[in-house]
Structure 1
Amino acid sequence: MTADGTGSPLTPDERRAELAESLADLRGRIAAACAAAGRDAAEVTLIAVTKTFPASDVRLLAGLGLTEVGENRDQEARPKAAECADLPLTWHFVGRLQTNKARAVASYADVVHSVDRARLVTALSDAAARDGRTLRCLVQVSLDEAEHRGGASPAEVPALADAIAGAAGLRLGGLMAVAPLGADPLPAFERLAAVSAELRRNHPDARIVSAGMSGDLEQAIACGATHLRIGTALLGGRRAIVR
């Protein structure tokens, strides 16, 4: 069926054409935003957030050259990653992560964007070391303390970054943040850029800035985002159930 879950089911060829059109439009937006910011579009990595969409869409996107895949929930991500294990994909876990899910996520994720507390650093390190894997981890920064969507305060970032950098099986990649709901995202992303600059003083290789989604990617790119987490603009409206 169409991307929003309505209408007649699409054939694989029709869905591929739909995704190809969305991807072309999205890359056009990214290129325009980079040009406006005086940046090279090659500096920006596009992550397809496939929450509620089937593994068949992941395969179609891989065929279109998009191999960075993001998921929010372990119970959906784990079987999807297993089903696509034959593809050369990089899996990003971008949702809030409970400590008791760390071992499961560490078994398939390559990058964890949502590290916001010391207990989670320990749990991910133990899991990665047990499995003989190396996880790239980003510190999630809260840009609005009034919200409850996870994230460490900017003041907590240095200690968390040091903990990740010193943990077995983990590699510090940089920062992630979500813009506050209902507000101009630009000031928030400017704050994130400042926190990132400060982080790189002690961790110069922690260059990832994961920020920007379908509605605010232009502002994120203007503020130096290196990774965009895109769902709706690429895949369409969320589906209630993955089939």
Structure 2
Amino acid sequence: MTGLQGRGALLVWSGVVPESEADYNMWHSREHMPERLAVPGFRRGRRGIAVYEAPPGQKYLMMYEADDAAVFVSAPYLGRLNDPTPWTQRVLSAYVEPSRTVCSVVASTGRGVGGWLGTLQVSKSDVTGLRRWAQGTWMDDVLARDGLLGAHALEGDRTLGQQPTAEKAFRESRGDRDRTVDFALLIEGFDRDATQAALDELTRHVSDLSGSQPVSTLYFIQHVITSSDVDL
């Protein structure tokens, strides 16, 4: 079995002002993901929309997988971040409560990409115990359940990728500063109810384990793109 493509990932949660949502979705699919997947080291990108009513900053999930976390501070990528297109400038200026974290993959397994993706965000400075647990058998337990396809654990870096780029200025132009997460757990499935049930169970377990309440959200995956889909 395979999991995420590479050892690095960029996780972005955000909302968009209502009048810009259609523009945002077209931009992300038609321009932004193809542009990002053309950067050396990027392997796969996806976008999801929250299934249930969610806080403004959790409505959309944007995720990129890469060779390793260093790709997200590489010269080619920083070149894109500091030269945003007019469409990118317009859409990023409509972001609400953005969260953007460069992550290293702690553990990952799966059978392709699921149509449903549950995410768990943990903000806790010391994730030593959570990291140790995430390297155990929980992913095998997830994959043993009907309707599920993958499980992944990622550790965030509060400093990597937080440099003041041109895109960051547009993204924070409404006054909401980029947030980061310290740890994230993802569950993928082809069955909505099974994915939600596994996410609920995982939320309770991680809450007990970490002593903090994680942010739990179920997403419907709208679009997936790989580097092979882009004219390099």
TM-score category, normalised to shorter length: 0.3 to 0.5
TM-score, normalization: structure 2? 0.36
Higher helix share: 1
- Considering Cα pairs closer than 8 Å and 6+ residues apart, tell me whether 1 or 2 has the greater RCO: 2
Larger radius of gyration: 1
Higher strand share: 2
TM-score, normalization: structure 1? 0.34
